[in-house]
Amino acid sequence: MGYKKVEQYDEESTSLLTENYKRTLALLGENPQREGLLKTPERMAKAIQYLTQGYSMNAEHILNSAKFHEPISEMIIVKDIEIYSMCEHHMLPFFGKAHVAYIPNGWITGLSKIARVVDVYARRLQVQERLTTQILDAIKTALQPLGVAVVIEASHLCMMMRGVQKQNSVTTTSAFFGEFEKNETRSEFIRLIGSTLH
């Protein structure tokens, strides 16, 4: 049997985006009919839909889909979650890691759900500052925890490939709620995400 790749995309959006990308290539001075570019507009149309699929996802539904009652109130950290997002100003990627913690108040969620929430908001046109607070707000709303902390470290191609062209720059953003607004708790979180325990 031959190989068949199965993908699902909105047909109307794919068609309209494909036509737009054909025009874009032509405006850049390229020939969209050139052999190497024949399928490029459709690939771009599908890629951008994949990279922005977060618009069709709901972070609270994800967290609530694996919500369990547990009488614990110790810090839970999921660190080094890879993020890939698109800067909304230049539509160039930024990428890095997110570190997320919360202190339960009677409810926990599946660990993979924390990583999925990061993707819900990363897979949109974004700014890192908003991405950080959106992750915090989703966990805060769904789980009603005693505290939430989010730190994101990312490199932005809009700074690396164009503009100031600073290839080694890293942007760090943070957001804290509840118990993490206390110096002692926040310091413990910062220490743990910076250490190598595994």
Which residues pair with residue 81 across a beta bridge?
98
Let me know: does 85 contact 122? Beta carbons within 8 Å.
Answer: yes
Which of the residues are catalytic? 87-90, 128, 156, 158
137 in Cβ contact with 176 (< 8 Å): no
Q: Which of 108, 179, 96 is CA-nearest to residue 132?
A: 96
149 three-state secondary structure: strand
Could you count the other beta carbons within 10 Å of the beta carbon of residue 178? 17
The Cα-based distances of 135 to 57, 82, 165 in angstroms read 13, 14, 29
- Interhelix angle 40-51/11-27, nearest 10 degrees: 120
> Tokens 């939430």, residue?
148
